[in-house]
């Protein structure tokens, strides 16, 4: 039984409905592994978890673990794989989705994550990389010369667009419509989450399904 959570971004803390579901789904709390969204940005030996918003969300929700690990380029390749194999929860953090994508590929973590029985969570960039595909726009910052469709981990067979505060009915026509002709796209505004459990998708907050160039705002099911 696989459980996946796709978080957009929460400006303060998890909504009560989400906390309840997380407590139901995360029974094993031996080891939390957080995978950096900016794996090249850190130096030194110490990791201060209080600096990470994602960690704050979990502690505020009283989701505490016996061990907590943070993985970036400071961790050796083989050690990163070992830690992930023993994880109860794998949390792909927010940050730079391209940098995180490249890190996952370089460290050969994709199959290790997908073969895990852990609850897998992504936030922002992490959610993009959990999906089957995601779109990096030429309109993004920092500026890209071209728009690129990236292959994600394919935890689930859909594309994902995260945490922009936009009018999606207008925004999607710009660059998500072409992608939606080949794969369903879930476009999530801030303060939203998706849970995929046994193939069933539950929705919290403003999330839109874009399929074959049609936009549908989804009803909350949490």
What pLDDT is stored for residue 142 in this prediction? Answer: 42
- pTM of the full structure: 0.92
Element (DSSP H or E) covering residue 207: strand 207-211
Residue whose token pair is 């023993």: 86
Q: 26 falls in which pLDDT band (50, 70, 90)?
A: very high
DSSP classification of residue 163: -
Q: What is the pLDDT of residues 82-127, one digit of tens each?
A: 999 999 999 999 999 999 999 999 999 999 999 999 999 999 999 9
Residue 7 CA neighbour count, 13 Å, CB half: 24
Q: What span, in angstroms and rounded, lies between the C-alpha atoms of 103 and 37?
A: 9
* DSSP 3-state percent helix, strand, coil across the chain (nearest 5): 30, 30, 40
Distance set, CA 167 to CA 92, 141, 175 (Å): 27, 19, 13
DSSP classification of residue 189: -
């Amino acid at each position: 039984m696989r459980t996946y959570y796709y978080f957009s971004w929460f400006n303060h803390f998890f909504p009560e409905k989400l906390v309840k579901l997380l407590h139901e789904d995360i029974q094993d709390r031996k080891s939390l592994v957080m995978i950096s969204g900016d794996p090249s940005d850190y130096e030194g030996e110490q990791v201060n978890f209080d600096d990470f918003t994602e960690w704050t969300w979990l502690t505020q929700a009283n989701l505490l673990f016996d061990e907590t690990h943070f993985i970036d380029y400071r961790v050796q390749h083989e050690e990163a794989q070992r830690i992930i194999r023993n994880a109860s929860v794998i949390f792909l953090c927010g940050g730079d989705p391209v940098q995180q994508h490249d890190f996952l590929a370089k460290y050969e973590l994709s199959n290790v994550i997908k073969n895990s029985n852990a609850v897998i969570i992504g936030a922002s960039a992490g959610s993009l990389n959990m999906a089957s595909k995601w779109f990096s726009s030429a309109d993004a910052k920092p500026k890209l010369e071209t728009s690129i469709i990236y292959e994600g981990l394919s935890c689930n067979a859909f594309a994902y667009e995260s945490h922009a505060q936009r009018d999606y009915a207008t925004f999607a026509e710009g660059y998500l419509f072409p992608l939606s002709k080949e794969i369903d796209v879930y476009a999530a505004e801030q303060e939203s989450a998706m849970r995929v459990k046994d193939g069933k998708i539950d929705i919290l907050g403003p999330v839109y399904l874009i399929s074959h160039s049609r936009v549908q705002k989804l009803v909350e099911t949490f």
